[in-house]
Amino acid sequence: MKIAIASGKGGTGKTTLSTNLASYLSEKNKVVLVDLDVEEPNSGLFIKGNLIYEEEKFKMIPKWVQETCTLCGNCQKVCNFHAVIQLGTMILVFPELCHSCYACSELCPTGSLPMTSKKMGDLKEYKKDNLSFIESKLVIGEEQAVPLIHQTMKYVDEKFGNDAIKIFDSPPGTSCPVIEATKDADFVLLVTEPTPFGLHDLKLAIETMKELKKDFGVIINKSGIGNNNVEAYCNEEHIPVIAKIPNSRKIAELYSSGSLLYNEIKEVKKELIKIEDFILRLKETK
């Protein structure tokens, strides 16, 4: 069972929901929480467990061998990402732009662009009772989140069976990293806030999930601020609003100290129970 927690807009509460939901569900279930926001993972601020595994993650990039290169220009022509540039008698490789497709390397007639490995990030696994927490983080300067997200999901797939509830804290937005983080999910929870910005970006996220043919529902966070347009929109479009987490100063205070909410605030727990019911019903049908 794979649940992705995503949003169009940033800062709507993906991590707040992911960490609280994962921790709460792990009281009765085997749960894996995976922070896929590899550019700036922050679930780890709220989940403190024992580090039980860590591994460096690599991607493959071409390296130019000047001695055998005939400067035919094939590599530059086949690269869709302008990661290989021919400049007179030089070939320049931009590792951050490279998508590891191997085209330049495979199509080089003299084998002058062998693929070599480059570190892109670190994966760490923590354990706290019934909760496994996986976090991957890009190294500074690395631009591409997708390869690390992909390798992290592969790690989770290989390590944990289908009996566990897997919660994927996804990056914000609707671009490639979000697609990668949500494409294998059985269900996507879209977290939004009841503001014009929240609704605008929610619509983009919904459009994306429809394109991916995903089942999804909406969680309204900071309920009570803004207006009712998000809910009206969801009703009109027949999109389930699964829970509404209230806006409160106490929540912000707990969040800012890295604490989980549901044991302190009963309204939050009540909403988590609604999500739990929804997920367990979903689990039976999958």
Partner 1 sequence: MRIAFTTKGKEWSSEMDARFGRTEFFIVYDEDKDQIEILDNSDSTKDAHGAGPKTAQKLFELKADVLITGNGPGGNAATVLEKTGMQIYVGAGEMTVKEAYEAYKDGKLKKF
Contact residues: partner 1, CB under 8 A: 76, 81-83, 85-88, 90, 92, 94, 96-97
Residue closer to partner 1 by CB (options 97, 282) is 97
Residue closer to partner 1 by CB (options 86, 248) is 86
- What is the rounded CA–CA span in Å between residue 39 and residue 70? 38
DSSP for residue 286: -
φ/ψ region of 161 (left if φ > 0, alpha if ψ in -120 to 50, else beta) reads beta
- What is the rounded CA–CA span in Å between residue 198 and residue 190? 11
- Residues in CB range of 96: below 8 A, 6 or more apart: 141, 142, 143, 144
Residue closer to partner 1 by CB (options 56, 96) is 96
- Residues in CB range of 10: below 8 A, 6 or more apart: 172, 173
Q: Which tokens hold the place of 276?
A: 């739990």
Give yes or no for a contact between 179 and 208, defined as CB atoms under 8 angstroms apart.
yes
Considering only CA atoms, which of 32, 46, 44 is closest in space to residue 4?
Answer: 32
Which amino acid, one-letter code, is at 161?
G
Give yes or no for a contact between 64 and 113, defined as CB atoms under 8 angstroms apart.
yes
- What is the rounded CA–CA span in Å between residue 16 and residue 43? 8
Q: Smallest distance, Å, CB 129 to partner 1?
A: 42
SS3 200: helix
Helices and strands counted in the chain (H then E): 9, 11
- What is the rounded CA–CA span in Å between residue 154 and residue 125? 14
Q: Which tokens hold the place of 21?
A: 């939901």
- What is the rounded CA–CA span in Å between residue 123 and residue 152? 7
